[in-house]
Amino acid sequence: MPGRGATAESQADGLVSYLRSDHEKAAFRRVYYPGTNVYVNKLGIRDAAELEAIERELTAERAEQGFPRSAHFRSYDGFRAIHRQLFRDLYSWAGKERRYTTGRGSIPFAVPEHIGPWMQQQFNALARDDYLVGLTLDAFAEAAARYVSEINAAHPFIDGNGRTQRFWLRMLADNAGFDLTLRETDRKRWNDASRDGFMQSDHAPMAALLKKRLKPR
């Protein structure tokens, strides 16, 4: 996704290779308050740093409250419900697919019309894999790392993709008989591993992180 370091207008200009139409450009600009890098939000916050702090606080509170039954690891609908639970206090797009093309570096994430089919394909495959139940810790970590990379390639939401993936992954691990404890200090390693998986199809860094943080029950 575009970073929060420039105005929406300049970000849109920088994404000319991603935004494919006037419709996508308009969808992109609607996400931000005019002339700013601040997401339009339900609290009317116009300062990027303040919004980021409030976002972290509110999503942590929602996670602490627990997730509704609709938010689970078994389907794309469940995955979207995790995102909706985390971000519903702030954004109208919580749990909804993004409507414009974005990417990382020179590589775009899934274009909007391919997000749903791509995500459904991953969850169909996960069901065929019995949600990774019955695997050894190492095998679970390696398979989960591949799924994380494929889901990350879709990048279905405007923001909060990584957080949603991590909560989804904890649910998946719990169902398979593992505890997954990712620490705050793991954030950079997670982000680097996600980048390697997306840009280089190298799942080893993510698998290594998961192997370190998984424990069998």
SS3 178: strand
| Total count of domains within the chain | 1
Residue 68 has pLDDT above 60, yes or no: yes
On whether residue 15 sits in a domain, the answer given is: no
Cα 3 to chain centroid, rounded: 15
Interatomic CA distance for residues 153 and 145, integer angstroms:
12
- Mean pLDDT score of the chain: 92
Which of 43-52, 98-107, 155-164, 179-188 has the least mean pLDDT?
Answer: 98-107
Interatomic CA distance for residues 153 and 102, integer angstroms:
11
On whether residue 61 sits in a domain, the answer given is: no
On whether residue 48 sits in a domain, the answer given is: no
Q: What is the pLDDT of residue 1?
A: 35
Q: What's the domain range around 176?
A: 67-216
On whether residue 28 sits in a domain, the answer given is: no
The pLDDT tens digits of the residues spanning 111-134 come to 999 999 999 999 999 999 999 999
Residue 217 has pLDDT above 80, yes or no: yes
On whether residue 46 sits in a domain, the answer given is: no
Please report, for the domain that includes residue 207, its CATH number.
1.10.3290.10
Q: Please state the rounded mean pLDDT for residues 190-217.
A: 96
Contacts of 119 (CB under 8 A, 6+ apart): 76, 79, 151, 154, 156
| Phi and psi torsions of 34, nearest 5° | -55, 130
Instruction: Give the model's confidence band at 17: pLDDT under 50 very low, under 70 low, under 90 confident, else very high.
Output: low
On whether residue 40 sits in a domain, the answer given is: no
Q: Pairing relation of β-strands 103-104 and 107-108?
A: antiparallel
On whether residue 44 sits in a domain, the answer given is: no
pTM exceeds 0.95 for this model: no
On whether residue 33 sits in a domain, the answer given is: no
**Cα separations (Å) of 111 from 63, 87, 214?**
29, 22, 33
